[in-house]
Amino acid sequence: MQNTETKKLPWWHWHRRLYNWVIHWADTRFGFLALILLAVTEPVCVPIPVDVLVIAMCLGKPKSALRYGLTCSLFSVLGGTIAFTLGIAIGGENVIAVFDKVHLGPKVDLALQLYQKYDFWAIAISALTPVPYMLFSWVGGMAGVSIKKFVLISIIFRTMRFGGEALLFYFLGEKARKLIEKYFNLATILVVILLALIVFAMKKLGNLFAG
């Protein structure tokens, strides 16, 4: 069915064709390998969110959902770390030039500003929400963030994202897909607010005990 839909698409709808191509791997015996490859390459250069394949695979095998979610989380962080390292090796000016060619130059400037202003939260939000993790991975080194901090924060929040999706499918099956599609953005905003409150409370407690 997916192949038929893809054939009907105009040739210029390349993004939708790529989306359909990614989804179709969930129905093949190479689905798990495809998940690993997409998780690694998405933070480097692939414009399709790996969530689409995670959700498709979890929907097909809910009892394997936790394995899919955790695998995706770890390999996504690996891909982010590769992009982070490449950004440093290639150099800031060259990275900006590349993103300029695909009309993302202004977003690089915005990502750098967010890094300078929010540091921890810039990584956390990009790893957890639909904000492009790829962009923040590439410019992390340019912003002067330590790779250790980037990796540790990425592990926590990528696991929250993909592990959270996996848990929903593990316990709810088909119902989870509708919940994710309907409330994904709202849920991530609530999680970020909750984490901000936790960090604030920890700081206050720290100051209290320090006094």
**Which of 172, 142, 180 is closest to 55 using CA atoms?**
180
Give per-residue pLDDT as tens, 103-151.
Answer: 888 888 889 888 988 888 889 888 987 778 999 999 998 888 999 999 9
Predicted TM-score of the model (pTM) = 0.76
Q: How many CB atoms lie within 10 A of CB 69?
A: 27
Give per-residue pLDDT as tens, 67-108.
Answer: 999 999 999 999 999 999 999 999 888 888 888 887 888 888
CA distance readout (Å), 174 to 56, 58, 69: 10, 9, 16
Whole-angstrom distance, CA of residue 34 vs CA of residue 19: 13
Residue 147 DSSP label: H
Give the distance from CA 57 to its chain's centroid.
17
| Residue 49: partners with Cβ closer than 8 Å, 6 or more residues away | 42, 130
